């Protein structure tokens, strides 16, 4: 029945069907509510001047007439502890992040040779490992804040 109601609003319903729909509208409250909604939507879409209400003056008048409360309610007086606790938690979080950012990175590479391979001279292994680590520094999980200094190029030399 709402399809016919929508067609009637769009002026696409036959005259005979319009009469039957008007009878239903007269007796059915739900259909009348749908009719009112359709009419309101149409007026809003067309920008009808009847719907243009400036609420600014009435809201400002209500704010002027509203009572001003100058005392803090007793329930909010205990909120001082909450604000101090929130401040302390914020400072602790900032300190922790600063500590992580400023602490030196830990080395996660073990320099111990494997038991199956003969151990090469320590100086050459260390130099090769240093070169390898420098070449693959961008992929290393050892930095605490990932991507913090990825734009810096590190230069190493083997002496």
pLDDT of residue 95: 93
Q: Does residue 58 sit within a domain? A: no
pLDDT of residue 91: 95
**C-beta separation of 126 from 108 below 8 A:** no
Token pair in block for residue 92: 């602790």
Q: Does residue 71 sit within a domain? A: no
Q: What is the 3-state secondary structure (H, E, C) of 39-86?
A: HHHHHHHHCCHHHCCCCHHHHHHHHHHCCCCCCCCHHHHCHHHHHHHH
Q: Does residue 73 sit within a domain? A: no
Q: How far from chain centre, in Å, is Cα 73?
A: 33
CA-to-CA separations, 107 to 18, 127, 137, 142, in angstroms, rounded: 84, 16, 12, 6
Q: Long-range contact list for 117-121, CB < 8 A, 24+ apart?
A: none
For the chain, 159 residues long, the average pLDDT of each consecutive 10-residue run is 82 85 87 87 80 81 86 62 88 92 67 54 70 71 54 58
Q: Does residue 122 sit within a domain? A: no
pLDDT of residue 23: 87
Through-space distance between the first and last CA atoms of the chain, rounded to whole angstroms: 91
Structural domain of 37: 2-51
Q: Does residue 37 sit within a domain? A: yes
Q: Does residue 28 sit within a domain? A: yes
Q: Does residue 21 sit within a domain? A: yes
- Number of domains comprising the chain: 1
Q: Does residue 148 sit within a domain? A: no
């Amino acid at each position: 029945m709402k399809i016919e109601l929508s067609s009637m609003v769009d002026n696409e319903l036959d005259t005979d069907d319009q009469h039957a729909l008007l009878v239903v509208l007269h007796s059915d409250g739900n259909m009348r509510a749908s009719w009112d909604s359709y009419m309101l939507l149409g007026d809003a879409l067309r920008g009808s001047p009847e719907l243009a209400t400036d609420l600014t003056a009435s809201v400002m008048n209500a704010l002027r007439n509203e009572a001003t409360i100058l005392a803090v309610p007793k329930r909010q007086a205990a909120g001082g502890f909450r604000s101090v606790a929130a401040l302390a938690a914020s400072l602790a979080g900032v300190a922790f992040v600063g500590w992580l950012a400023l602490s030196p990175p830990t080395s996660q590479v073990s320099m111990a040779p494997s038991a199956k391979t003969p151990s090469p001279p320590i100086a050459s292994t260390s130099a090769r490992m240093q070169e390898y680590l420098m070449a693959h520094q961008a992929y290393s999980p050892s930095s605490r804040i990932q991507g913090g200094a990825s734009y810096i190029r590190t230069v190493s030399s083997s002496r």
